[in-house]
């Protein structure tokens, strides 16, 4: 069994690993096909998995208002995912990660300070180091970032940050049904968008393996985040989970041979220091 004090750390970092791997697969898949196809197909896979897990785990169904809140979380999360996947598909995968991850972590930190009180001084320092770590890890050697580069990452970060807050407030013991409701909400919104824009909805057969991997990583990441939130503070769970760009960038370096820069190495050290401080 994981000790209660360690649970937020373990589950938060596990969420980061799953989300980072899922974003890597999503970026690869989006380079080969249309973004809506990738998102809808992967979310259909994750919805099937979530329903199976909820039924197999005999988890009690939540009240309607809680399911509705989870559905709204799914809608804003889908907006964030569309923005992130579009940004990931342009150039190197690290371009979108700094702004989106920092904004995504910043939203629950602000909200958490109001609903749970301010974090401790070591945790505040750790949050600051985590933001710096995400920024450094995600840098790709570009000398400047222009305003037109920030639009999609900011939208993605606001969407993910709002998702963190909303899904973290649904049910104190439930895991699977809130995520099922979130998937239903996001899929409904996405299908409406594709219907209006007459966009294709499902990926081609050659992309099915990547889509399956994205669905599995999404389920794992979302479940671990909820467990981290249930075991500890909202801001701690969100900041730890927001270290996911480290995994995305590492996979891009290891598998796609994208260049690793000195700032990224510094970012890894800053992330390790942040983890220690956040858990004090």
Phi, psi of 110 (to 5 degrees): -65, -50
Q: At residue 135, does pLDDT exceed 80?
A: no
CB 9 within 8 A of CB 241: no
Better pLDDT: 141 or 256:
256
133's tokens: 């770590």
Q: Write the pLDDT tens digit of every residue in 30-40.
A: 777 777 788 88
Q: What are the residue ranges spanned by the domains of the chain?
A: 7-278
pLDDT of 98-113, one tens digit each?
Answer: 677 788 888 998 898 8
Which pLDDT belongs to residue 279? 67
Q: How many Å apart are CA 73 and CA 149, to the nearest integer?
A: 26
């Amino acid at each position: 069994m994981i000790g209660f004090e360690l649970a937020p750390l373990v589950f938060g970092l596990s969420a980061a690993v799953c989300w980072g791997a899922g974003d890597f697969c999503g970026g690869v898949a989006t380079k080969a096909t249309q973004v809506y196809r990738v998102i809808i197909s992967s979310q259909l896979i994750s919805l099937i998995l979530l329903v199976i897990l909820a039924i197999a785990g005999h988890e009690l169904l939540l009240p309607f208002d809680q399911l509705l809140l989870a559905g709204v979380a799914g809608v804003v999360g889908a907006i964030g995912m569309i923005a992130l996947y579009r940004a990931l598909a342009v150039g190197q995968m690290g371009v979108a990660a700094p702004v989106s991850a920092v904004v995504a972590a910043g939203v629950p930190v602000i909200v958490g300070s109001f609903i749970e009180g301010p974090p401790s001084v070591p945790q505040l320092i750790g949050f600051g180091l985590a933001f710096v770590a995400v920024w450094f890890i995600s840098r790709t050697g570009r000398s400047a970032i222009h305003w037109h580069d920030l639009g999609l990452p900011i939208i993605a970060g606001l969407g993910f940050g709002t998702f963190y807050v909303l899904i973290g407030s649904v049910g104190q013991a439930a895991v699977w049904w809130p995520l099922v409701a979130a998937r239903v909400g996001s899929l409904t919104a996405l299908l409406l968008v594709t219907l209006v824009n007459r966009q294709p909805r499902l990926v081609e057969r050659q992309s099915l393996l990547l889509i399956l991997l994205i669905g599995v990583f999404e389920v794992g990441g979302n479940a671990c985040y909820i467990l981290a939130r249930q075991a500890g503070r909202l801001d701690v769970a969100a900041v730890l989970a927001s270290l996911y760009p480290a995994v995305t960038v590492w996979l891009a370096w290891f598998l796609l041979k994208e260049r690793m820069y000195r700032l990224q190495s510094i970012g890894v050290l800053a992330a390790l220091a942040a983890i220690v401080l956040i858990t004090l």
